[in-house]
Chains A and B, each alone.
Chain A
Amino acid sequence: MKTFRKYWAIFEITLLNSLAYPGELIGRSLMILPFMWIYFQLWNVTFKASGTNVINSMTLYSTMWYLMMAETIELSRPALARTISDNVKDGSIAYILNKPYSFLLYQFSNSMGETIFRALINALFGSAMVWWMVGSPPAPIGWLFASIAILGTWILNFCITCLIGLSAFLVEDVAPFMWIYQKFIFILGGFLIPLDFYPSWLQVIAKALPFSAMIYGPSKLFIQPSWALLGNVLLLQAVWIIALGTTLLISYRRGITYLTVNGG
């Protein structure tokens, strides 16, 4: 319980910090508006050109709300890999390692504090825009199921971005890994195009990978909530959290043995 309180306190501090600059918070979230507008143009034209209101069980309405949730998740992800990589490269990791808490749990609490309000404001702006374009949001149960699944998304994102950040122990620059990770989210996560529109062979591959559990799962639960889908998404997330979490722990322990910090 005492351990939990420690990390909760770190989470609270970062959460309050993120509210210290409301202009910054709102300014960042405005980015969702042009994105939603351009998606609407694209999918409106696409549905009209197809001559049908339903494509692979998706309508313009459900596609837009799906994309709003996907965009909210993606735009709220903290730049944790860069933070950890900077900590490793400039040696400031040493100042965290000698404190009475776990480096990984510290980073997790910290990143959660940064994420929560960013996600809420993104969802607020994105929802207002999509509501205006295609009508009212899906049923409240969709919000609930998506919120549960988003917790899994954040844990998965933490595992992957931490692994990328810790790779700074071995390589000079981790930015290319971040770009490629982001693009895997885009393409295999169903971020720009819902996976339902993919060819079936690619759907099978994508739906087995962690990226779909991070974006497609919560977004699909938002527009078509069901207990069966919730179970599938949470199971896939749990499997990948165990696999990636174990890899992260092993990598972290090995990375620490590489660490050389110069005083000064």
Chain B
Amino acid sequence: MSGDSLPLPLPLARFAADSCEATTLYRELRKPLLRYLVCLGLSADEAQDIVQDAFVSLHRHLASGGSQENIRSWLFRVAHNGARNRQNSYDRRFGKPLDPHLDSIADDATPEQVVLEKEKFRRLGKAILVLTESERECLLLRAGGLRYREIAEVLGIPTSTVSDTVDRAIKKLAEKCNV
């Protein structure tokens, strides 16, 4: 079994002091950050605002000689706190089911495949609602390409807790979706 086939992308493994250009970071991280925030339940506008603020903060951070290590978790932490600060919409929307865009199912799929696919999405969407807040956050950060220890940095919890939480979340989703 090759590590290359792991489904969660880790696009920024090479991030180190020598490649910390804000534009590169913006290109690579803008979408994952937006996706994280939107999946937390924020509106597109709120997510855009938070991501924009996060990159402005990053610019200041780098300009003032701040550490260039772990920029990815740094940005996710700023975005995560930004989402938390909008506590109202965070609380209000967190419990809402994620509302996926199902038209993205392949055009050449047969009607049966489309039905199956939609059913799968529906089941997963329902199962995600069963997750606790931290389980959902951990999985979303994982989906954002963060390593376990990076997730621990973002959420301010031990890495072992992250690992247990992800395991528990995966188990719950697998049970609900018959994986």
Do A and B actually bind? no
